[in-house]
């Protein structure tokens, strides 16, 4: 029987898990996100865009690692300015950064449980939640291996496990399929669809096929702004035969960027 997470039983008091209005975020001296309007509901959202579009900066701001430089940002119904609100948001937020850092001498289990502790899970739930997360990314047979002994694909799966260990309401994944082999990517898409049933998941990727296979909504960014939003089917329909790309979704993606004035 499927276990019921706290996220499913707790009442929600907000219309949008992610709501940004004229959001500006700096990455160093550059305004990498510049006037972004975005509303995300429950489901799996794909974030596409060329290099330098501001995808990673946006994800880092939504993960509360970077503070907004302007505009409004509401996550799970709370603002991100006050420390007490930040703490509440972070309890319900799962995040896989683009560059997943880890402690090489920790085992998979120790690392996942450490992350569960960082997320303020009650002590008595940490062990079971850690095992469940490890099972979900199919790493049970490697649970007691040190992280330094794992391959790149396995480490990526550890990253995904730590992001979902506490059944968050908002999951942010930056390039989660990098390093995964084709079979693992198919498994990951299934996991995404499962998580997205009751959670808001934002997946930043440059692999258009991941978006078309697993996402219910697509956001295309260029030059720090959202230039297109719709379903994968709508994105596929956007492309014409002359647009570059190997698949209808890729051609649609090229068309969306073309409408916005090019590749940023």
Q: Give residues in contact with another protein (CB under 8 A).
A: 60, 63-65, 67, 82-84, 86-88, 90-91, 93, 95, 97, 99, 101-105, 110, 113-115, 117-120, 162
- Residue 105 Cα distances to 47, 150, 246, angstroms: 33, 11, 42
- Closer to another protein at the Cβ: 90 or 251? 90
How far is 211 from 219, CA to CA, in rounded Å? 10
Give least dist CB 157 to another protein, A: 15
Give least dist CB 262 to another protein, A: 31
How far is 255 from 235, CA to CA, in rounded Å? 9
Give least dist CB 258 to another protein, A: 33
Token pair listed for 53: 């579009």
- Residue 56 Cα distances to 13, 59, 110, 209, angstroms: 28, 5, 27, 19
- Closer to another protein at the Cβ: 158 or 238? 158
Burial of 191 (0-12, 13-18, 19+ CB in 10 A): buried
Give least dist CB 237 to another protein, A: 36
First to last CA, the chain: 48
Token pair listed for 43: 């489901």
Give least dist CB 122 to another protein, A: 13
- Closer to another protein at the Cβ: 162 or 217? 162
- Closer to another protein at the Cβ: 158 or 227? 158
- Closer to another protein at the Cβ: 64 or 254? 64
């Amino acid at each position: 029987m499927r276990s019921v997470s706290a996220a499913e039983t707790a009442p929600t008091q907000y219309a949008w898990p992610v709501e940004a209005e004229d959001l500006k975020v700096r990455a160093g001296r550059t305004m990498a996100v510049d006037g972004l309007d975005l509303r995300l509901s429950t489901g799996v959202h794909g974030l596409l865009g060329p290099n330098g579009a501001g995808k990673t900066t946006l994800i880092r701001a939504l993960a509360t690692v970077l503070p907004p430089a302007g505009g409004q940002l509401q996550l799970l119904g709370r603002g991100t300015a006050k420390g007490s609100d930040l703490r509440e948001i972070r309890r319900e937020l799962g995040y896989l950064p683009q560059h997943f850092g880890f402690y090489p001498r920790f085992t998979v289990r120790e690392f996942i449980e450490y992350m569960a502790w960082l997320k303020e899970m009650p002590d008595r739930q940490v062990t079971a939640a850690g095992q469940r997360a490890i099972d979900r990314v199919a790493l049970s047979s490697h649970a007691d291996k040190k992280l330094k002994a794992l391959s790149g694909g396995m480490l990526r799966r550890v990253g995904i496990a730590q992001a979902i260990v506490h059944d968050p309401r908002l999951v942010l994944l930056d390039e989660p399929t990098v390093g995964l082999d084709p079979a693992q990517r198919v498994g990951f898409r299934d996991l995404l669809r499962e998580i997205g049933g009751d959670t808001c998941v934002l997946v930043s990727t440059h692999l258009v096929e991941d978006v078309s296979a697993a996402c219910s909504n697509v956001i295309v960014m260029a030059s720090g702004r959202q230039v297109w939003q719709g379903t994968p089917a709508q994105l596929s329909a956007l492309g014409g035969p002359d647009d570059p790309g190997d698949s209808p979704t890729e051609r649609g993606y090229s068309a969306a960027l073309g409408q916005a004035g090019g590749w940023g």
